[in-house]
């Protein structure tokens, strides 16, 4: 009983600390939250008429364009916002208050001025400097902003955030990792990219290699339905639910001025010029062009996944079984792309079992030098040898030339880092979405994506994979003989090179990973 009382006393003290730290910005109990649903697809707009006509030529199928180029990925979102006439629904893990985030915000605000209804749902874990911009946007009568699974105080200090984690770790450790951008109920962008410089090749230090799909057809309605489930769930809280820091009309007016200034600076940048040079040959949703067509399934975890009492409840809320069912159909080969790859014992056994049955399995993930999460690499490295011994082929993305991730990266990346999440089965079935092949995506975060039966799309993703694993771009990790040491094979200037430990990673960074491997944190990776 003494231990129970001591624990209770500590929790009481921590709770008082949270209240004191957040007294001026704690969550109200009387906030208003009105449910809403996706508006019907717009059919009277130019984009709507085009999409309706082209979808009508492919009954029961959805159309897709693959966004591999970062410039196209950004400007496609901007173009969709500019052509919106009725609604825009956005759901993201990260929406940074940086050049590209503010560019998207400006175009959302312009759409709202035209009468477009905008619903923006963001996971709360990464909302810091963004809160003023989000509050100002929410002051617009046509824009509503909600935060998923928020802290009990708005913009908490590090001490407050740490204390709240200690008090409520089971809830706060579960995050919404979904990513979707749905316009007029007709077109959606779904994939791996968040909103921020790092995801569109506009970052000074961080540039992720990623994949998105522009989708039209029946799968968009399913995406809208999934958005509604999250928007109306108990974990989605309006930004107005917190005391203090409410945007006034003045703040919205000031935001307009600031965004207009930022837009001029962005338009004059080399990045903007490169985008303009590239976009005419890239995809946009309202111009006739080539689409990949196939039957598609929108897969999305249920928002209740963050509240599930035990693993038995969670299994019915997760998309993992649907992804496994897709891979189970493999007869020839499986390509896996995952920046954070921690298969665990069961996943390792499953993948090596596929190889035993004559199925080629290839995995592309980050190298130690390119990853932005050393702890994840520590988890992955535990299974690397077993995977290789079981016949799984491993490729690790190389960083930019001469650039290594810093020790204790703390989520900040340098150079080039893989962020795409995709699976290709037998050159026919494709998954693209937000889900990594790790324990966090499986058990803790909510995730979403699209499974498509389309050989042409599968070929396009395979080309992305094959280009990424070229010796100049990736290390091929191999065992030269059973029981031998691992080797990392690559090429520099066309000449083969071989490394005998994690390449281009300093001793300090390798030591960091060795220390992390000793910690029991795999279930959180």
Cite the active site residues.
177, 179, 184, 419, 421, 426
**DSSP letter string, 110-165:** HHHHTT-EEEEEEEGGG-STTHHHHHHHHTSTTEEEEEES--SBSS--HHHHHHHH
Distance, in Å, from the CA atom of 415 to the CA atom of 404, rounded to the nearest integer, reads 7
Distance, in Å, from the CA atom of 161 to the CA atom of 177, rounded to the nearest integer, reads 19
264 phi and psi, to 5 degrees? -65, -40
Give which of 434, 320, 422 is closest to 362, Cα–Cα: 422
Pairing of strands 117-123, 87-92: parallel
200 phi and psi, to 5 degrees? -130, 25
Give which of 506, 196, 520, 214 is closest to 368, Cα–Cα: 506
Phi-psi region of 201 (alpha: psi -120 to 50; beta: other; left: phi over 0): left
| 486 DSSP β-pair partners | 479
**What are the E-state strand segments in 195-291?**
206-209, 212-216, 236-238
Biggest CA–CA distance in the chain, Å, is 72
CB-CB contact of 183 with 84 (8 Å): yes
Whole-Å CA distances, 125 to 93, 218, 222, 359, 508: 8, 32, 26, 39, 29
Terminal alpha carbon distance of the chain: 34
| 446 DSSP β-pair partners | 176
In our burial notation (b when 16+ CB lie closer than 10 A, e otherwise), range 367-385 reads bbbbbbbbbbbbbbbebbe
Distance, in Å, from the CA atom of 143 to the CA atom of 522, rounded to the nearest integer, reads 39
């Amino acid at each position: 009983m003494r231990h129970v009382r001591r624990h209770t006393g500590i929790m009481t003290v921590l709770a008082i600390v949270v209240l004191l730290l957040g007294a001026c910005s704690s969550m109200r109990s009387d906030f208003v939250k009105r449910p809403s649903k996706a508006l019907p697809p717009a059919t009277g707009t130019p984009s709507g008429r085009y999409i309706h006509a082209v979808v009508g030529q492919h009954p029961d199928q959805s159309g897709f364009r693959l966004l591999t180029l970062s410039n196209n990925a950004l400007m496609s979102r901007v173009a969709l916002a500019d052509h919106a006439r009725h609604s825009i629904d956005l759901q993201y893990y990260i929406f940074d208050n940086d050049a590209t985030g503010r560019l998207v915000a400006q175009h959302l605000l312009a759409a709202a001025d035209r009468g477009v209804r905008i619903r923006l749902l963001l996971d709360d874990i990464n909302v810091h400097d963004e809160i003023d911009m989000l509050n100002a946007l929410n002051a617009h009568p046509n824009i509503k902003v909600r935060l998923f699974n928020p802290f009990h105080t708005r913009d908490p200090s590090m001490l407050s955030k740490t204390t709240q984690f200690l008090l409520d770790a089971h809830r706060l450790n579960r995050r919404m990792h979904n990513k979707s951008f749905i316009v007029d109920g007709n077109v959606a962008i779904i994939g791996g990219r968040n909103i921020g410089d790092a995801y569109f090749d506009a970052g000074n230090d961080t540039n992720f290699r990623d994949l998105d799909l522009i989708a039209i057809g029946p799968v968009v309605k399913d995406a809208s339905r999934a958005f509604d489930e999250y928007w109306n769930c108990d974990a989605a809280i309006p930004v107005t639910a917190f005391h203090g820091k409410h945007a006034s009309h003045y703040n919205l007016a000031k935001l307009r001025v600031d965004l207009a200034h930022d837009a001029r600076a962005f338009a004059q940048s080399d990045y903007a010029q490169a985008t303009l040079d590239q976009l005419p040959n890239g995809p946009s949703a309202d111009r006739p062009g080539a689409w990949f067509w196939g039957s598609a399934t929108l897969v999305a975890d249920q928002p209740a996944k963050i509240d599930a009492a035990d693993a038995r409840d969670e299994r019915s809320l997760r998309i993992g079984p649907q992804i496994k069912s897709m891979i189970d159909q493999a007869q020839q080969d499986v390509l896996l792309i995952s920046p954070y790859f921690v298969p665990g014992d069961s996943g390792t056994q499953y993948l090596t079992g596929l190889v035993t049955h004559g199925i080629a399995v290839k995995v592309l993930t980050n190298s130690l030098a390119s990853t932005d999460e050393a702890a994840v690499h520590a988890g992955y490295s535990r299974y690397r040898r077993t995977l290789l011994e079981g016949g799984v082929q491993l490729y690790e993305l190389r960083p930019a030339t001469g650039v290594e991730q810093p020790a204790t990266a703390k989520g900040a990346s340098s150079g080039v880092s893989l962020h795409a999440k995709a699976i290709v089965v037998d050159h026919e079935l494709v998954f693209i979405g937000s889900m990594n092949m790790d324990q966090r995506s499986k058990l803790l975060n909510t995730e979403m994506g699209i499974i498509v039966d389309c050989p042409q799309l599968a070929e396009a993703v395979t080309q992305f994979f094959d280009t990424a694993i070229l010796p100049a771009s990736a290390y091929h990790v191999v065992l030269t003989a059973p029981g031998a040491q691992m080797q990392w094979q690559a090429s520099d200037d066309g000449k083969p090179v071989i490394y005998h430990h994690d390449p281009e990673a300093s001793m300090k960074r390798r030591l960091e990973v060795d220390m992390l491997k000793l910690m029991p944190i795999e279930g959180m990776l």
